[in-house]
Every structure is written in structure tokens, then in C-alpha cells.
Structure 1
Amino acid sequence: MMKPYSMIIIALLFLTACKSGRVQEAPQIMNLSANPTGTGPGLSLEFRKGMAHNHPSFVLWAEGMDGKYLQTLFITKAVGTSIYEHGDPSSGHWEPGEIRRPASLPYWAHKRGVKEKDGLYVPSIENPMADAYTGATPPGDFNLSARFDKNPPPKFRILFEINQTWDWNKFWTNNKYPDDDEYKTSCQPAVVYMATVDMNDGVSAYTMEAIGHSHYAGRTGELFTDLGTLTTALEIVNNLTVNLE
């Protein structure tokens, strides 16, 4: 008869063998497409999430070297339409409905420069971003393929703004601006990333770098270049790479 300790050793060896033979699943990467019928050049964005990633809103757009807005390439649908999945509790449970969130992606919104009837620069139900440029928020890593409407200048900037709520820290506290409801929808402000693209320099891949953050309540289109007060907001993204197609 096998002794108890022998059975324990055999069981441990079996578990070790199973563990060592287990194949780790590769992280899932979602593929997105925007404006596929555009007549301008295409590019792709490789987004790899950071440790603090939790269903953020974001937008990708282009501007000239003079800082003037060229076009939006992709924006998460909630901000692009002002219709949020949990936007209307009037029936006793949450249903999609309109919510105005000027603090979500304010640097892009002011760059775009379309002022709605309520005085805000975020798109509205009456004047949403076209479906070709919007999509649901990806749950994690993704690759986005997008096209310009027409040919951009040979040299231009690609910008990416990202924001998620409930990310208070020791500087951006929940009582920093106690009477500012818009601040409370953003917590740490949106972070802006940028890469300069030169279609004539022979480079096909560009790494985007954080260049600043937006206004904490979205009231202006200022870019604040001091990132020293941000913590987890800088950990939403691990890596952003733009590739010319």
C-alpha cells in the first residue's frame, strides 16, 4: 500500500507538470477601423494599455505644424455623440441618454472649435461626430486603422487625448474644487500625446509622447505642460505607436 507522504509527492509532481505545461494566453488585441472610404493616406495606431487602464475616453486627430486643426481620425462614441450608456435614469434604471461632458477631452474639443448651442465645444446629439469616425470604447489593447479625408500636408502632427474618471490622487483630490461639477467628472485631467509625422523622411513608425494635460474642467483649450501632478493618469497608456500605411 502506498504511504501517504508518497501520494502527496506524486500529487505535487503532477500539479507542477500541469503548471509548467500550461500555455499562457496572448493578450487580446481588438482591431478597429475608421473612415475607410477616405481618399487621403492611411495610418494605424497601436495602443497598448497601461496598469491603470479602465475604460477611458479618447480621441485621435491631426493638426498642421502651425497648430491648426486638420481633422478627427477617431473618437470614442460616447464623447463623439454625448450619448452615454448610463445616461438616463428616469425610467428607474439606467438607459442610454445625453450627458454633456466638457472635461472629457477638452484640448481636442477646443482645437476642433465647434461651439454648440449650450456654449460647450463637445459634440452634441444635434451635431454629433459622423459614424465613420466613432466607435465603442475598446476594453484593452487595440490597433486602429484610419484614413484621412484628403491629403494632409507633407509634415503634420498626430495627437491623442485620453481621460478616465475616478482617478483621484493626492493633488487632484475629490475636494480640490468642491463646487465644480465638471472637475468631478474628470478627476485627474485628460493627458495629451503627440508625434510629428514627416511623410518625406522615410520613417514609417512614430512613438507618441505625453506633452501635457488639459484643463481640469474643460473650460479652456489650454495645454498644461507640467505633468508632475499626474500619477495614474500617465499609466492609462503603456505605449502609443503611429504607423504610416
Structure 2
Amino acid sequence: MKKINVLIIVLVSVAATVSGQTEAITANQAAKGTALQLHFEAGEAHNHPSFAVWVEDLQGNFKQTLFVTKSVGTGIYPYKPAGDLKWEKGPGRAHRPAALPYWFHKRDEEKLQDANIPDPDNPVPDAYTGATPKQNFNLAVRTDEPLQGKVRVLLEVNQPWDVNEFWTNAKHPENTQYLTSCQPAVIYAVTIDLDKPMDMYYLNPIGHSHPYGADGKLYTNLTTLTTALDIFTKIKLKIE
């Protein structure tokens, strides 16, 4: 598949405010594309997760990132390794392929070694990044260009050190990347039709990522996941 490199320069304001129990986040509002409003309801397992939202066509070809949490988008995390599999408060530069592997690989079709993972020298533009919300939140975003026809909106979410009876610390003890994640990232998706838009869409889980980021495949068996499926209890999308 031929890779197309596109440079987009936009002026953006990304802000978060708290209104009652729902945070409001805006991103890429200076763009001239389609306006989307997403509403996230935090589950009992919600605890500073990392996530990315993006758009692709029905053939699975990546179109653009809509939003990604700041730590993943910059490669600078609030905790850093302290030796002997321990962590201490950062900030610290980190290479974490287990964070959001499906999105990492989707955004780089050639999948060059490490080229798909943002770092402080090659961050995701501020247009598309923001802090992790602490509670329920609304995310108002715009695509760079107007969407047409049918497309898919996807989300990948992961929470650090999220163990359960199947994804234990002892499952891949030799892999330090796995130990930063344990239960793998969960992928949600919905297909929207810009020609015949519905009043509301709901993103539903369709699979999970590789547990330590070794590939960009979609693993559809969700039976081993527990709290990873309760980070969000509902994700709604509306075309403005």
C-alpha cells in the first residue's frame, strides 16, 4: 500500500473545563472539516487511561487522528522506570509500544521500526492532544477535511498495570513492555454514514491489541478481559 505523507498546519485551542460531573474538551476547532461530538461515560475501572480516537475508511485505511492523550502523543509520561520493575513519579521519556499498539500501527502504514510511536522529538501535533479526563467527558473535535460517505470512527483505550486472573504479572515476566499494561488495550468502533446520518451512534468493543505491542493486529477474543472493558461504560457519537 502506498504511503502518503501530508503536512497539515493548523492553529488550535485545546481546553478542558469542568461542568458538574462532565468535563468538556475541544480539539482542532480551527479546522474546516466535519464536527463530531463524543460523550464518554467513565466506568468503575476508569483511572487515568490512555486513549486515541481516529477515523479510517471502510477498507481499514487510516485517515487521521482526532485526539490522543498527551502522554502517548508526546512520549512523556507522569511515571518513569526506577529499576527492578519499579516506577517513580516523572515526568519521564518512555518508549511504550504496549500503550496503544493498534493506533500506533494504523498511523504508519509502512510500519517502520519505531517510526509509528510518538516521542518528544516526533510528537503528535498539539492540535490533537490533551490531558486525560478524570471523569465523564465530552470531546468536541473537527476533522481536517469534511468527511464523505461511510467511514469508521475508532477508539483504543488502555490502562497501565491493569491485571486480572488471566493477564497477570507472571504471564510474560520477561517482557517489561507487557508489565506496563497487562490487560491489553481495547478497541471500539462504529461506522457512520455522512450521507444519511443518524441522531446518535454508539462505539462498541470489537477486539483488543497485542499485549506488549509486538504487532498491529486486531484480536477479537474479549473473553479474558474484565476491568479493561469497564474503563468506559458508554461512548456516544453525534455528527454536529
Given the alignment, which residue of 79, 84, 87 partners 2:80?
A: 87
The residue aligned with 2:133 is: 138
Asked if the contact 1:46–1:240 (Cα under 8 Å) also holds between the matched residues in 2, the reply is yes
Given the alignment, which residue of 28, 35, 42 partners 2:28?
A: 35
Q: Hey, what's the Cα distance between the residues in 1 that align with 2:218 and 2:92?
A: 30
Shift of residue 117 of structure 1?
8.3
Given the alignment, which residue of 41, 55, 67 partners 1:48?
A: 41
> Residue type of the partner of 1:191?
V
Shift of residue 120 of structure 1?
5.2
Asked if the contact 2:203–2:236 (Cα under 8 Å) also holds between the matched residues in 1, the reply is yes
Q: Hey, what's the Cα distance between the residues in 1 that align with 2:196 and 2:235?
A: 20
Q: Which has the larger radius of gyration?
A: 1
Shift of residue 201 of structure 1?
1.6
Q: Hey, what's the Cα distance between the residues in 2 that align with 1:75 and 1:162?
A: 10
Helix, strand or coil at the partner of 1:79: helix
Helix, strand or coil at the partner of 1:78: helix
Tell which deviates more after alignment, 111-120 or 124-133: 111-120
Which whole-Å deviations, capped at 9, do the CAs of 1:130-171 have from their partners, x for residues lacking one?
001000111011000000000223210000100001221111
Which blocks of at least 5 consecutive residues in structure 2 are unaligned? 1-18, 83-87
- TM-score computed with the length of structure 1 as normaliser: 0.84
The residue aligned with 2:206 is: 211
| 1:17-32 to 2 correspondences below 5 Å | 28-32=21-25
Q: Hey, what's the Cα distance between the residues in 1 that align with 2:219 and 2:150?
A: 24
Helix, strand or coil at the partner of 2:228: helix
Q: Hey, what's the Cα distance between the residues in 2 that align with 1:138 and 1:101?
A: 20
Asked if the contact 1:102–1:120 (Cα under 8 Å) also holds between the matched residues in 2, the reply is no
Count residues with an aligned counterpart: 218
2:181 equivalent to 1:186: yes
Which whole-Å deviations, capped at 9, do the CAs of 1:101-133 have from their partners, x for residues lacking one?
110011011000177986352111111000010
Asked if the contact 2:35–2:140 (Cα under 8 Å) also holds between the matched residues in 1, the reply is yes
> Residue type of the partner of 2:62?
Y
Given the alignment, which residue of 55, 63, 84 partners 1:62?
A: 55
Shift of residue 95 of structure 1?
3.6
| 1:129-208 to 2 correspondences below 5 Å | 129-208=124-203
> Residue type of the partner of 1:145?
A
The residue aligned with 1:237 is: 232
Helix, strand or coil at the partner of 2:29: coil
Which whole-Å deviations, capped at 9, do the CAs of 1:17-36 have from their partners, x for residues lacking one?
xxxxxxxxx96100001101
Asked if the contact 1:116–1:123 (Cα under 8 Å) also holds between the matched residues in 2, the reply is no
Which whole-Å deviations, capped at 9, do the CAs of 1:180-228 have from their partners, x for residues lacking one?
1111011100000001000122413101100000000011000000100
Asked if the contact 1:195–1:207 (Cα under 8 Å) also holds between the matched residues in 2, the reply is yes
Identity %: 47
Asked if the contact 1:116–1:122 (Cα under 8 Å) also holds between the matched residues in 2, the reply is no
Asked if the contact 2:36–2:142 (Cα under 8 Å) also holds between the matched residues in 1, the reply is yes
> Residue type of the partner of 2:64?
Q
Q: 1:176 to 1:195 in 2, by over 3 A?
A: same
Q: 1:52 to 1:95 in 2, by over 3 A?
A: closer
Asked if the contact 1:206–1:243 (Cα under 8 Å) also holds between the matched residues in 2, the reply is yes
Q: Hey, what's the Cα distance between the residues in 1 that align with 2:117 and 2:110?
A: 8
Q: Hey, what's the Cα distance between the residues in 2 that align with 1:109 and 1:77?
A: 14
Higher strand content, 1 or 2: 2
Q: 1:120 to 1:188 in 2, by over 3 A?
A: farther
Give the superposed CA RMSD: 2.0
> Residue type of the partner of 2:239?
L
Which blocks of at least 5 consecutive residues in structure 1 are unaligned? 1-25
